[in-house]
């Protein structure tokens, strides 16, 4: 990883040491963000730091003392990353003797960040192959927590079945992907699950909904049921890692090869990236 950030210091990854009693290690007790970098410039930085602050507040993880907004740019510079990259930032509840109850309030959160060069998988633009997965996650999916075992299980199962992404279904509703938000086009209308404790408030999702509104593309935050998937015209996924990616198949059933609504949104999203980062 080269140079990483740990608790206020920039240092080689081999020297970034964390106690095994860190609650991120013993309890998976932390929150995180992944920020996309285009052309050496962090994209939607304020939105990611806003969500990180929200995650900390919801998880009752105390304020990290040093401001972190400068960390992505400094990590990029220190690692010579001038093109496309990802930055990962994690905040845990800190190091404390193992106990289910929270450590004393003076316990300092642990803050770790790293950056690496990133190129999207070209296969994604051709259409994601997806599978449906029972949503066995906890009921606070609105918090971006580091305890990602259910997401990891589903991502691994998708990979083993030759798919790119698993789509979580809870109470018959397609909620979101293992690392993405889910959109379907039904009767010309773009639909995505409403914000709730069952989905992450995706930053790319919000950009797409804003673009729909701005450009007169009909859209609605409403549940899409798994039983409706046979009738949908298009499906696409949004995330920091995927951008906006059309879906080619769900559980082996092909979706229409043409996806004009997704194509339009992809073009509009690229415009936003160009405007912000180039
Ligand atoms: N849903 C889940 C479960 C995720 O992990 C992610 C991103 O990692 C998303 C949705 C998409 O969110 P964003 O667009 O902010 O990357």
pLDDT by residue (tens digit) across 110-142?
999 999 999 999 999 999 999 999 999 999 999
Alpha carbons 111 and 79: distance in angstroms, whole number: 18
pLDDT at 114: 98
For residue 261, which phi and psi values (nearest 5 degrees)? -70, -45
Query: Which tens digits make up the pLDDT trace of 83-114?
Result: 999 999 999 999 999 999 999 999 999 999 99
Percentage of the chain with pLDDT > 90? Answer: 97
**Angle formed by the axes of helices 260-277 and 203-214, nearest 10°:** 110
- Rounded Cα gap, residues 62 and 42, in angstroms: 25
CB 233 within 8 A of CB 189: no
Q: Which of 181, 198, 204, 237 to mutate to test the pocket of ligand 1 (most atoms within 8 A of CB)?
A: 181
With the most atoms of ligand 1 within 8 angstroms of its CB, the residue from 196, 198, 202 to mutate is 202
- Per-residue model confidence (pLDDT) at position 65: 61
- Give pLDDT, residue 196: 98
- Name the β-bridge partners of 235: 184
Asked if residues 166 and 154 have their Cβ atoms less than 8 Å apart, the reply is yes
Q: Whose CA is nearest to atom 9 of ligand 1?
A: 180
Question: How far does residue 112's CA lie from ligand 1's centre (Å)?
Answer: 19
Residues known to be catalytic: 144
Going by alpha carbons, the residue nearest to atom 5 of ligand 1 is: 179
Establish whether residue 203 lines the binding site of ligand 1, counting it when its CB lies within 6 angstroms of any ligand atom. Answer: yes
Q: How far does the centroid of ligand 1 lie from the alpha carbon of residue 242, in Å?
A: 10
Low-confidence ranges of the chain (pLDDT < 50): none
181 Cβ inside 6 Å of ligand 1 = yes
201 CA to centre of ligand 1 in angstroms: 7
Distance 142 CA to ligand 1 centre (A): 10
How does pLDDT run across 44-59, given as a tens digit for each residue? 999 999 999 999 999 9
Closest-lying ligand 1 atom to the alpha carbon of residue 204: 14
């Amino acid at each position: 990883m080269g140079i990483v950030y740990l608790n206020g210091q920039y240092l080689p990854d081999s020297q970034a040491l964390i106690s095994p009693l860190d609650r991120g290690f013993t309890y998976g007790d932390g929150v995180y963000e992944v920020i996309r970098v285009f052309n050496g410039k962090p994209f939607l930085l304020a939105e990611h730091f806003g969500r990180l602050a929200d995650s900390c507040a919801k998880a009752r993880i105390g304020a990290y003392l040093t401001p972190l907004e400068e960390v992505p740019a400094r990590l990029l510079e220190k690692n010579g990353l001038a093109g496309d990259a990802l930055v990962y930032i994690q905040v845990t509840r800190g190091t404390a003797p193992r106990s289910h109850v929270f450590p004393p309030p003076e316990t300092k959160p642990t803050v770790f960040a790293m950056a690496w060069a990133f190129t999207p998988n070209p296969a994604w633009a051709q259409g994601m192959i997806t599978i449906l997965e029972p949503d066995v996650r906890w009921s606070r999916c609105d918090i971006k927590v580091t305890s990602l075992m259910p997401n990891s299980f589903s991502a691994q199962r998708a990979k083993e079945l030759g798919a790119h992404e698993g789509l979580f279904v809870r109470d018959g509703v397609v909620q979101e992907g293992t690392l993405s938000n889910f959109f379907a086009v039904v009767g010309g209308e773009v639909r995505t699950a409403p914000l709730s404790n069952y989905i992450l408030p995706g930053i790319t999702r919000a950009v797409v909904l804003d673009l729909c509104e701005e450009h007169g593309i009909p859209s609605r935050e409403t549940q899409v049921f798994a039983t409706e998937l046979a009738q949908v015209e298009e499906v696409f996924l949004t995330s920091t890692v995927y951008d906006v990616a059309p879906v080619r198949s769900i559980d082996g059933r092909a979706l229409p090869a043409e996806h004009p609504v997704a194509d339009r949104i992809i073009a509009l999203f690229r415009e936003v990236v160009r405007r912000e980062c180039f």
